[in-house]
Structure 1
C-alpha cells in the first residue's frame, strides 16, 4: 500500500533531476563552445568535433528525459497533496492521462509501486546520460593535449 509520504518522497527524488539537467546544459554548452572554437581558433580537429557533437547529442537526449522526470515529479507531488482518497486521485490521474493521449487506457489502474519504479527508472536514465557527458568531457580534457599532437 502506497502512502502519501512515499509519494512525497518519490516527488522529492524526481525533483533532483532539475540539478542533473542544469549540469547537462552546462556540459552541452561546453560542447558547443568546443566545436565553435575549433572553427574560429584553429583548424577543425576530428576528435574535437566528434566530442563536441557527442556532448550536444547527449545533452539533447538528456533534455528529453529531464522533461519527463519533471512532469512525473509534478504529478507525484499533486497526487500526494490531494485530499481525496488515493484510489479516487489515481482514477482521476489515469483518466486525465488517457484523455490527453499520454497513457493508453489499458495501462490505467497500475499499482503505485509500479509507477514509482517507472518514474525512478526515468531519473536513472537521465543520470546515466549526464554521467556519460561528464566522462566524455573529462576524457577530452585529459586527452586533449595528446590529441593535438596526434593530428
Structure 2
C-alpha cells in the first residue's frame, strides 16, 4: 500500500514521462562521441607538437583539451548509468515506490550514494540531478571546442 511519502516520491510522474526523459538522455551519447573525437585530436596534436618542438602554449592547450575531454567522459558515463536506471524505472512503473527504495538500498550498498540519512529523493529530484550532469557535459564540450579551435588557430597563425 502507498503511504504519503511514497505518493510524494511519485506524484506528477507517468511512465511516458520517464520514457521521454530517458530518451532525452540519448543526446549525451552523441556529445560523448564528439568530445571523444576532440580529446583524441588534442592528445594527438599534443604529441605531434611536443615532437616538433612547437610552442609550449600549443602543447599546454592540447593537453588541457585532452584533460577537459576526460571530465566530459566522466559526465557521459554517469549519464549513461542514470539513463539505464530511468529505463529500468520506466519498466517497473507499477511498483515505482518500492523500486525506488530498492534502488537506493542497492546504491548505498555499492557506495554510489551516501547513507540513508538523507530523505528519499523524488523522481523529479533525480531527473534534475541528471540534467545538471548533462549541462556540465555540454559545458565541458563547449569549452573543449573553443579551446581546440583557439589553439588550432594559434598554431596556424603564429602570434610572433
TM superposition score normalised by structure 1: 0.90
Unaligned residue ranges in structure 2 (runs of 5+): 1-11
2:62–2:151: 8 Å Cα contact kept in structure 1?
no
**Structure with a larger share of its residues in helix:** 1
Q: Which residue of 2 aligns with 1:99?
A: 109
The 3-state SS of whatever aligns with 1:54 is helix
1:94–1:108: 8 Å Cα contact kept in structure 2?
no
* Distance in 2 of aligned mates of 1:4 and 1:75: 13
* Distance in 2 of aligned mates of 1:99 and 1:43: 51
Aligned residues: 148
Q: Which residue of 2 aligns with 1:19?
A: 30
1:31–1:56: 8 Å Cα contact kept in structure 2?
yes
Unaligned residue ranges in structure 1 (runs of 5+): none
1:1-151 superposed matches below 5 A? 1-40=12-51, 42-82=52-92, 84-104=94-114, 105-107=116-118, 109-147=120-158, 149-150=159-160
TM superposition score normalised by structure 2: 0.85
* Distance in 2 of aligned mates of 1:77 and 1:99: 21
* Distance in 1 of aligned mates of 2:95 and 2:72: 35
